Amino acid sequence: MEDKLFYTVVSTSVIIALIIMFFVISVVRYHRRYIRLQKDMIRAEITMQELERKRIANDLHDSLGPLLSSVKLYMQSIENISAENRELLNIANTHIDDTITGLRQISYNLSPEGLSRNGLIKTIEEYLFRINNAKTLEIDFDAKMDIKLPQTIEIHLFRIIQEIVNNTMKHAMAKNLRLIIAFAGKQVTVMSIDNGKGFNPTETGKETRGLGLSSIRSRCEILNASLTLTSDVNHGCTYLIKVPIH
């Protein structure tokens, strides 16, 4: 009788353990599928954004740019006008030049064509050169990497750096930004340090949501990269991103 009871208890315990194990495995599998689905959705959304950016950049470069240049040529061909009107015409020409320059900058920011031709480092150097020339932020860029990365990784890293620089200019009120990119042990490390006003990264208010952190985090998830954000009010902000390269 005792043996029968013992075997019944053992059998029941084994069945319960198997049921619990089945549910645990099911939950883990569901969670993994959910994460994969989330990543696929984020990847699809970002891919669509990149395609739309490229389309808009091409429209600006191929349509509006030549159109403004043609308008400028027509204006310059006007003859027999008074000195006062000539002065107004020169002012208009200057505005057109500024507009063409602005369109080129917008087109470049939307779709950096040099990325596929020159690679990540040179493209970032060109981008930062434009920022430094604007005298709005002094950026020190140190790149210790001489390998060619897959284009998908390069575009995500470029967008992440764009977002960091944009945040630093718009929100941090920083005077200096240091950017470092290094490659070691099949891992690319991106680090940025600014001397801005900083913020509390645990806050979820409107100000923090506007910093573009969701875009940076989404791209890091796609790259299976780790993201460490260190910041405090009046103590600047530091990003540390580690991207595995397979």
- The string of pLDDT tens digits covering residues 56-84 is 766 666 667 677 777 777 677 777 777 77
Tell me the whole-structure pTM to 2 decimals: 0.67
What angle do the packed helices 2-59 and 213-222 form, to 10 degrees?
A: 120
How is residue 209 written in tokens? Answer: 């949501």
Smallest Cα–Cα separation from 237: which of 200, 189, 207, 198?
Answer: 198
User: Distance between CA 68 and CA 126 in Å, rounded?
Assistant: 25
User: Distance between CA 75 and CA 52 in Å, rounded?
Assistant: 33
Smallest Cα–Cα separation from 190: which of 198, 182, 200?
Answer: 182
Superfamily of domain 117-246: Histidine kinase-like ATPase, C-terminal domain (3.30.565.10)
Give the residue extent of every domain in the chain. Answer: 1-111, 117-246
Winning range, highest mean pLDDT, from 52-56, 110-114, 223-227: 223-227
Residue 186, pLDDT above cutoff 60: yes
User: Distance between CA 23 and CA 31 in Å, rounded?
Assistant: 12
Q: Mean pLDDT of all residues in the chain?
A: 78
Residue with the two structure tokens 């910041």: 231
